[in-house]
C-alpha cells in the first residue's frame, strides 16, 4: 500500500529541502544542548564546535548529512531498521499491527465506570488481552502498577517489574520504559533468557523504548546516558520528542517542524558519533498549547500535521522510517469525543502508511481502557477495509448473469444461491454496529458496552499463556538480583 497522503507534494523537493536546511541552520547557529560529556567529546572529534560552559554543540550541516547518510546507506543495503516505542506508529507493511505500551498510571474500571489506580490484575488481564487478539501485534506495558502481590514497588524498579509481567504472560513482547543504564542491564538479561541468546535478542529486542528531548533543543543527562547505553549494546537508540506548539517549540506548523526535526537529527548524529555503527531512529509526538486556557492538546490538527510533516521530510531525505505520533485521546471520558479523536489519529496513521497503531489510551495517556482498545481495533479494521480495493471476480464467467436471469425483472436476491454463498463474507457484526431490538424498538447497549462484553469473553475463553518453568525460574532470579542492586533490598 502506497501512502495516500503527503502533507507536501513529494515533487516539490524545494519545500522539503527548505525544512531540512532550516533545521540544519538551527543546529549550526544555535546548536543543541547535550548534558553528556561523552556526546560532546565525540561530536567535537567529528567536527562540531562545542561551548563547554553551556554544554552546547554546534553541528555543521555536513556532519549531520554524513552521519545520517551513512546510516541510510546501511539500511538501503539490507540492514533492518528497528524502532521500539509505545507512543508512535511506524511502517509494518499493510497489516493491522496494533500495540500496547505507553504505560498509563490508571485503569478504567467498567463496574464502577470510573478510572482508578491500576492493579496487578488489571495489568495482567490487559497483557492477556493483547496476547489473545490477532490484530494486536506487540504487547508493551499498557499500565504501570505501584503494588505487586501487596508489596509497594520502588519507582526505580517499576520497569523491571513491568518486563517480568510481560515475560510471564505474552509471547508478543514489546517495549518497557528504560530510565537508567542499571535498569537496561537487567532488562537485557531477561530479554536474553526469552530469546535464547544475546545475538537473537539483538535481532528481536524487547523491554526498551525511545527517549525524548526537552524542547527546545535540549537532551538531558538521563536521556543521553540511556541512548548511549542502548547504542553501545547493539540495540535501537530512538529519539522521539514530544514538542508542544506554542510552548517548547514555535506555534506555527513550519516552525514547530523545523525545531522538532532539528532535535531528532542532532541526537541521531550525536549517537552515531559516539557509536559509529549505532542503530538510530526518530519519531514525533506533537501537541498544542491552547492559549485560551484549555491546556495541552494532542488532537489539534496542527499538531498532527507537525508529526506528518516531520516524518515526510525525514523519510524523503534519508529513506528511513520515522515514527508518527498516534499516542492518545485528549477526551476525559469514554464517549463519542474519544472515538472521533481516535478515528482521526488512526486514519492519519493509515494515510501515511503506519498501521502500528497505539491503542487503549485516553485522557492524554493517563488512563488505559480495554473497551477503548477493542473499539479502536474495529475502527482500524473498517478504515483498512474501506481502502482495500475490491475484487471483480463476479464479472468473470456466466454464473452471475445466469443468477440475475433466474431472478428476473422485479425479483429479489434474498433467497438466491449467490446471496447464500456470499452472505457471511459481506456481513458486518463488529462492536461499532448499533444493535436495535425490533420488538422493543430500543437500542441495545452502546459501543463500549459491546466492547466490554467482548473483553470479558476473551478473558473467560482465551487460553492463558504461561512462560515455561525453566525460563520463569531464571526470570525470578534476575528480578531478585535486580531488586537488590537497584533498590538495595532483598526481593
* Mean pLDDT, rounded, for 176-183: 92
What is the DSSP-derived secondary structure letter of residue 2?
Answer: -
Q: What percent of the chain lies above the pLDDT cut of 70?
A: 97
Ramachandran area for residue 234 (φ above 0: left; ψ -120 to 50: alpha; else beta): left
What burial letters (b/e) apply to 117-130, b meaning 16+ CB within 10 Å? ebbbebbbbbbbbb
What pLDDT digit, counting tens, does each position of 390-437 carry?
A: 777 788 888 888 888 988 898 888 888 888 877 766 656 578 877 767
Instruction: At 354, list the grid cell.
Output: 503506519
CA distance 168 to 365: 25
Average pLDDT (342-355) is: 91
pLDDT at 177 over 80: yes
CA-closest candidate to residue 309, choices 301, 159, 71, 218:
301
Rounded to the nearest integer, the mean pLDDT of the chain is 91
Angle of helix 13-29 versus helix 253-274 axis, rounded to 10: 60
First to last CA, the chain: 50
What pLDDT is attached to residue 93? 87
Whether 346 has a pLDDT exceeding 60, the answer reads yes
Q: In the predicted model, is pLDDT for residue 334 greater than 60?
A: yes
User: 40 pLDDT exceeds 80?
Assistant: yes
Give the Cβ contact number of residue 212 at 10 Å: 22
CA atoms of 363 and 296, how far apart (whole Å): 11
- Based on the number of CB atoms within 10 Å of its own CB, is 426 exposed (0-12), middle (13-18) or buried (19 or more)? exposed
In this model, does residue 204 exceed pLDDT 90?
yes
Mean pLDDT: which of 44-58, 279-293, 344-358 is highest? 44-58
The CA distances from residue 389 to 93, 213, 396, in Å, are 16, 41, 17
**Residues 446-473: tens digit of each pLDDT:** 899 999 999 999 999 878 899 999 999 9
Q: Which domains does the chain have, with CATH numbers?
A: 1-79+219-320 (3.20.20.480), 81-209+328-389+467-491 (no CATH), 393-461 (no CATH)
Task: Tell me how far the alpha carbon of residue 214 is from its chain's centroid.
Answer: 20
Per-residue pLDDT of 123-157, as tens digits, reads 999 999 999 999 999 999 999 899 998 899 999 99
Residue 428: predicted pLDDT: 60
pLDDT at 119: 95
Q: What is the pLDDT of residues 356-374, one digit of tens each?
A: 999 999 999 999 999 999 9
Task: Tell me whether residue 449 is exposed, middle or buried, using C-beta atoms within 10 angstroms of its C-beta: 0 to 12, 13 to 18, 19 or more.
Answer: middle
Amino acid at each position: 500500500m502506497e501512502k495516500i497522503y503527503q502533507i507536501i507534494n513529494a515533487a516539490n523537493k524545494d519545500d522539503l529541502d527548505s525544512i531540512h536546511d532550516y533545521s540544519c541552520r538551527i543546529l549550526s547557529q544555535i546548536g543543541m544542548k547535550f548534558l553528556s560529556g561523552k556526546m560532546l567529546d565525540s561530536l567535537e572529534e567529528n567536527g562540531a564546535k562545542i561551548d563547554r560552559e553551556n554544554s552546547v554543540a554546534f553541528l555543521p550541516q555536513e556532519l549531520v548529512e554524513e552521519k545520517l547518510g551513512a546510516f541510510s546507506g546501511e539500511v538501503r543495503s539490507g540492514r533492518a531498521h528497528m524502532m521500539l516505542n509505545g507512543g508512535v506508529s511506524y511502517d509494518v507493511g499493510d497489516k493491522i499491527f496494533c500495540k500496547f505500551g505507553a504505560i498509563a498510571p490508571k485503569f478504567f474500571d467498567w463496574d464502577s465506570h470510573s478510572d482508578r489506580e491500576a492493579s496487578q490484575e488489571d495489568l495482567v488481564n490487559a497483557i492477556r488481552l493483547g496476547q489473545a487478539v490477532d490484530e494486536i501485534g506487540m504487547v508493551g506495558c499498557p499500565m504501570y502498577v505501584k503494588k505487586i502481590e501487596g508489596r509497594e514497588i520502588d519507582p526505580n524498579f517499576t520497569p523491571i517489574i513491568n518486563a517480568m509481567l510481560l515475560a510471564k504472560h505474552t509471547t508478543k513482547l514489546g517495549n518497557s520504559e528504560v530510565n537508567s543504564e542499571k535498569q537496561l542491564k537487567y532488562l537485557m538479561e531477561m530479554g536474553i533468557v526469552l530469546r535464547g541468546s544475546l545475538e537473537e535478542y539483538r535481532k528481536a529486542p524487547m523491554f526498551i523504548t525511545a527517549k525524548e528531548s526537552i524542547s527546545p533543543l535540549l537532551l538531558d543527562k538521563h536521556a543521553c546516558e540511556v541512548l548511549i547505553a542502548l547504542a553501545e549494546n547493539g540495540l535501537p537508540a530512538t529519539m522521539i520528542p514530544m514538542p508542544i506548539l506554542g510552548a517548547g517549540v514555535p506555534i506555527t506548523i513550519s516552525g514547530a517542524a523545523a525545531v522538532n526535526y532539528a532535535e531528532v537529527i542532532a541526537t541521531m548524529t550525536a549517537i552515531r558519533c559516539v557509536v559509529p555503527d549505532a542503530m538510530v531512529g526518530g519519531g514525533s509526538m506533537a501537541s498544542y498549547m491552547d492559549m485560551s486556557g484549555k491546556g495541552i492538546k494532542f488532537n489539534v490538527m496542527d499538531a498532527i500535521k507537525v508529526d506528518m510533516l516531520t516524518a515526510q521530510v525525514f523519510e524523503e531525505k534519508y529513506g528511513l522510517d520515522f515514527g508518527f505520533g498516534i499516542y492518545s485521546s485528549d477526551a476525559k471520558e469514554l464517549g463519542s469525543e474519544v472515538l472521533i479523536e481516535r478515528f482521526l489519529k488512526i486514519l492519519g496513521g493509515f494515510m501515511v502508511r503506519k498501521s502500528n497503531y497505539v491503542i487503549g489510551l485516553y485522557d492524554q495517556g493517563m488512563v488505559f481502557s480495554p473497551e477503548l482498545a477493542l473499539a479502536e481495533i474495529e475502527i482500524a479494521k473498517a478504515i483498512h477495509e474501506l481502502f482495500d480495493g475490491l475484487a471483480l471476480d463476479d464479472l468473470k464467467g456466466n454464473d452471475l448473469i445466469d443468477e440475475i436471469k433466474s431472478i428476473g425483472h422485479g425479483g429479489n436476491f434474498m433467497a438466491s444461491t449467490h446471496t447464500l454463498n456470499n452472505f457471511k463474507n459481506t456481513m458486518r457484526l463488529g462492536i461499532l454496529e448499533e444493535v436495535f431490538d425490533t420488538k422493543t424498538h430500543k437500542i441495545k447497549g452502546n459501543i463500549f458496552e459491546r466492547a466490554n462484553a467482548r473483553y470479558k469473553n476473551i478473558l473467560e475463553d482465551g487460553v492463558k499463556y504461561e512462560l515455561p518453568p525453566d525460563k520463569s525460574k531464571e526470570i525470578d532470579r534476575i528480578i531478585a538480583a535486580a531488586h537488590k542492586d537497584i533498590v538495595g533490598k532483598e526481593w
